[in-house]
Amino acid sequence: MEPDPGLIKMDTLQGRESLSGGDAESSQRFASEVKYITFYAHKLAETLGMHQLQLGIVEDREGQTAFHSSANGWHGVVSSNRRSLKQIKESLARS
């Protein structure tokens, strides 16, 4: 399966984050949304007794950001239109 050309990766190695893929605006938006959602997901996980966030989808008027956790960090896609959960999972699986 070919990697999705719109795939953005945010890897963390020795405490340093690196972004790859996507254009500068999409990459920055992806990083900002992952950090924002991760903060609130940790709070929600504590309340619900969950251990970790594995998949997230954020939608607003400008588009949709989807991401999932991997061993090295976060991988995700920013899209200007809504996509189904099936389409998102397929796209993220191409990483």
Q: Across the beta sheet with 63-69, what order do the strands follow?
A: 16-20, 7-13, 73-79, 63-69, 55-60
Residue written as tokens 């500068």?
24
- pLDDT value at residue 18: 82
Q: List beta partners, residue 63.
A: 60
Q: Which residue has the higher pLDDT, 86 or 95?
A: 86
The pLDDT tens digits of the residues spanning 35-91 come to 887 788 778 778 878 777 778 888 888 888 888 877 767 778 888 888 898 988 888
Structure tokens at 62: 């400008």
Query: Given a cut of 70, is residue 26 above it in pLDDT?
Result: yes
- pLDDT value at residue 72: 67
- pLDDT value at residue 95: 60
Of all helices (H) and strands (E), which one includes residue 73?
Answer: strand 73-79
Residue 49 is given by DSSP the state T
pTM of the complete model: 0.60
State the CB neighbour count (10 A cutoff) for residue 38: 16
How many helices (H) and strands (E) in the chain? Answer: 2, 5
- pLDDT value at residue 4: 58
